């Protein structure tokens, strides 16, 4: 690591990127990347999905540096800016470019703390602001039809209805849904224990329709979706008897949505948006919705108030004689 440290310090003093013989990046860069990801997973409790996104972004930047015959650790602000500009030119969304910039800032903060370099070149790079798009919401008429769509004479149809009721009735993320175990359900208190981002637990209540769908699934269908190799603790299983994965849920939701929602554009996360918006439409307190969703920052929840205002405006425009 001594050679990398020396080169990193040279770059930090303003001499630019450090070339390597033969145009290869030394394995020390890989070691630092792996160390950072291990740190983020163990100490900051980032979710597996976030860690996977960070790894993809950093490996993408490492490949960019390799082609530039430089080191990731020793890269300068020009290299970081060129990389992000290239990704935008290649068609990456603003949110994707912003996430890559965030990953690089995190990496170089880590490198500075480890004394691998003296500065954070990514901190000097401005990234495009994310486009503020109002989250899509499923209309109530479509929602009622959608929830009633899964067949009740098939064990996987019964499972699907329980999943849809959980997504809409609790507003949980698809990753949180897939991680649920049978013991996480508390029918006496009508609530489910959810392990959210940062491995933070929260308790989310569910209503009678959700409870009924879950009871029916557990009593009649769940045993039929299992096999000898199924993990016994899991709540939901796919057709191979394994714990249901996020792709399984997305494919299932897409199949039902395609039959009901015009355009077929709705995902498991759309149910979460719908859950929050319908609560606020009915007068729920914003901070209560924040707790139910598991948002750390209230500003994340406030976007749903904009959705409600948009719907109020739509109602006014459609119904008021002077609109």
Catalytic residue numbers?
173, 197, 269, 272, 295, 304
The span from the CA of 130 to the CA of 62, in Å, is 24
166: nearest Cα among 305, 272, 17: 272
The span from the CA of 59 to the CA of 99, in Å, is 14
* 3-state SS assignment for residue 73: coil
Residue 295 tokens read as: 């948002």
| CA 55 to chain CA centroid, nearest Å | 15
Report in angstroms the alpha-carbon separations of 216 from 72, 188, 210. 54, 16, 10
Place of tokens 């901070």: 287
The span from the CA of 135 to the CA of 116, in Å, is 41
Asked if 171 contacts 293 with a C-beta cutoff of 8 angstroms, the reply is yes
């Amino acid at each position: 690591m001594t050679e990398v440290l020396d080169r990193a310090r040279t770059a930090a003093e303003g001499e630019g990127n450090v070339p390597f013989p033969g145009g290869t990046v030394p394995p020390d860069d890989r070691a630092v990347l792996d160390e950072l990801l291990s740190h983020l997973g163990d100490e900051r409790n980032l979710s597996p999905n976030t860690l996977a996104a960070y790894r993809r972004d950093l490996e993408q930047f490492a490949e960019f540096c390799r082609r530039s015959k430089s080191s990731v650790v020793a890269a300068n602000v020009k290299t970081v800016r060129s990389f992000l500009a290239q990704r935008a030119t290649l068609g990456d969304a603003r949110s994707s470019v912003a996430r890559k910039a965030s990953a690089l800032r995190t990496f170089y903060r880590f490198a500075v703390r480890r004394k691998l370099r003296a500065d954070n070149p990514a901190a000097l790079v401005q990234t495009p602001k994310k486009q503020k798009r109002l989250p899509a919401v499923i209309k109530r008429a479509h929602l009622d039809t959608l929830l009633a769509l899964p067949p009740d004479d098939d064990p996987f149809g019964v499972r699907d209805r329980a999943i849809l009721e959980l997504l809409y009735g609790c507003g949980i993320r698809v990753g949180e849904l897939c991680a649920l175990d049978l013991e996480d359900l508390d029918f006496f208190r009508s609530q489910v224990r959810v392990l959210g981002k940062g491995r933070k637990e929260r308790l989310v209540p569910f209503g009678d329709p959700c409870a009924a769908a879950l009871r029916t699934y557990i009593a009649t269908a769940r045993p039929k979706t299992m096999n000898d190799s199924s993990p016994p603790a899991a709540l939901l299983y796919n057709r191979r008897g394994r714990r249901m994965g996020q792709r399984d849920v997305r494919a299932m939701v897409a199949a039902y949505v395609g039959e009901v929602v015009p355009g077929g554009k709705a995902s498991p996360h759309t149910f979460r948006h719908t859950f929050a918006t319908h609560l606020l439409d009915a007068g729920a307190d914003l901070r209560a919705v924040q707790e139910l969703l598991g948002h750390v920052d209230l500003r994340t929840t406030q976007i749903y108030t904009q959705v409600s205002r948009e719907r109020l405006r739509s109602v006014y425009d459609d119904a008021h004689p002077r609109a």
